C-alpha cells in the first residue's frame, strides 16, 4: 500500500466511495481518519496532515501518530505533498519541486520513536531515491532542491529568509520535519512533493508572506498538483524494491514496528 499525506489545502484525495479507517496508536490519534482508495494498480491510503478542518498547526501535528498509523495499516511508501515558500526568484508560485535535501530548523518536536536502545538512523539522503525519481521525472516538475523546515506557525523574518537563501536553500516549509525522519525510522520510503505558494519575505518585495495569500495560491494550483501526485503514484512499481530506506539491518530495536 502507498500513502499520501496532504498538506495545507490538500484535505481529500478520493471520492465518496473510499473507505475510512480510524486507528489509535501508542502516540495518540492521527490527524484524521485515513481514507483508502485506488490509484491505478495501487491501493492508496490518504491522510490530511493538518486534519480535515486544518485544526493542527505545523508544530502541533501528531507526526508520530500519523506515521505509525500509516505503517500499521500496511503503508510502506509515502508521498508527502506540501506547500512551500520559495527562496529563489527562479521558482515562482505554482512551481512544483521534488527536494533532495532538508535542513531542520524546528525545535521541541517529537522526532524519534527510539527513546531508548541507542538506535542511530542514517539520514544523509533523507528522501527515497525511488519515489523521488517517480515524481521528479514528470513534465514540469523541478528535480532537486534543499528545503529548510522552520518551526512555525509564524513565517520567516526578512533577515531569516535572506540568511536561508544565502546558505543555498531553495524552499522553506513548516512540516517536512520530523515527518521524513519518522518514516525512515519506520523503514518506510518517503518523498516530498512541494508546491510553491509564494516568494519568501526576504526574496520578494511588499508586505511579506500572508497566510490568506498562501492558501489562495494553493487552491489555484490544487487540481494540477493533485494530478502530479496521481501521476507520480502511477510511476511507482507495484513491488517495493528500495533498500535505501531500510536502516535497521543488524540492529536490535527497542520497540516492535507495527
- Whether residue 38 contacts residue 18, with contact meaning beta carbons closer than 8 Å, is answered with no
Could you give the 3-state DSSP secondary structure of residue 2? strand
The annotation status of 50 as a binding-site residue, yes or no, is: yes
Q: Is 130 annotated in some ligand binding site?
A: no
Catalytic residue among 90, 111, 143, 198: 198
Instruction: Check the annotation: does 248 bind a ligand.
Output: no
60 is in an annotated binding site: no
User: Phi/psi of residue 218, each to 5°?
Assistant: -60, -45
Active site annotation includes 90: no
Beta partners for 186? none
Task: Extract the C-alpha cell encoding 108.
Answer: 521541541
Concerning whether 200 is annotated as a catalytic residue, the answer is: yes
Query: What burial letters (b/e) apply to 143-176, b meaning 16+ CB within 10 Å?
Result: eebbbbbbebeebbeeebbbebbeeebbbbbbbb
Q: Which of 17, 125, 200, 234 is catalytic?
A: 200
CA separation for the pair 60, 109 (Å, rounded): 8
State yes or no: 8 annotated in a binding site: yes
Report whether 174 belongs to an annotated binding site: yes
Active-site positions read: 198, 200
Q: Which residues make up each annotated binding site for phosphate?
A: 8, 49-50, 175
Q: Which residues make up each annotated binding site for substrate?
A: 174, 198-200
Q: Which residues make up each annotated binding site?
A: 8, 49-50, 174-175, 198-200
Amino acid at each position: 500500500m502507498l500513502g499520501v499525506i496532504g498538506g495545507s489545502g490538500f484535505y481529500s484525495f478520493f471520492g465518496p466511495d473510499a473507505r475510512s479507517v480510524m486507528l489509535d496508536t501508542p502516540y495518540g490519534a492521527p490527524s484524521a481518519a485515513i481514507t483508502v482508495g485506488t490509484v491505478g494498480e495501487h491501493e492508496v491510503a490518504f491522510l490530511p496532515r493538518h486534519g480535515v478542518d486544518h485544526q493542527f498547526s505545523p508544530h502541533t501535528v501528531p507526526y508520530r501518530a500519523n506515521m505509525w498509523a500509516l505503517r500499521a495499516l500496511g503503508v510502506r511508501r509515502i508521498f508527502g505533498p506540501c506547500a512551500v515558500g520559495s527562496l529563489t526568484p527562479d521558482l515562482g508560485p505554482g512551481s512544483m519541486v521534488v527536494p533532495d535535501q532538508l535542513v531542520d530548523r524546528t525545535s521541541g518536536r517529537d522526532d524519534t520513536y527510539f527513546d531508548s536502545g541507542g538506535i542511530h538512523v542514517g539520514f544523509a539522503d533523507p528522501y527515497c531515491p525511488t519515489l523521488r525519481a517517480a515524481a521528479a521525472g514528470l513534465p514540469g516538475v523541478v528535480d532537486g532542491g534543499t528545503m529548510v523546515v522552520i518551526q512555525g506557525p509564524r513565517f520567516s523574518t526578512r533577515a531569516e529568509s535572506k540568511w536561508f537563501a544565502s546558505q543555498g536553500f531553495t524552499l522553506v516549509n513548516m512540516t517536512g520535519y520530523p515527518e521524513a525522519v519518522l518514516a525512515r525510522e519506520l523503514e518506510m520510503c518517503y518523498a516530498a512533493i512541494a508546491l510553491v505558494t509564494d516568494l519568501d519575505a526576504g526574496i520578494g518585495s511588499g508586505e511579506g508572506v500572508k497566510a490568506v495569500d498562501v492558501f489562495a495560491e494553493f487552491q489555484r494550483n490544487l487540481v494540477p498538483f493533485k494530478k502530479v501526485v496521481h501521476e507520480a503514484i502511477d510511476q511507482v512499481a507495484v513491488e517495493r524494491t528500495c533498500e535505501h530506506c531500510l536502516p535497521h539491518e543488524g540492529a536490535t530495536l527497542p520497540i516492535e514496528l507495527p
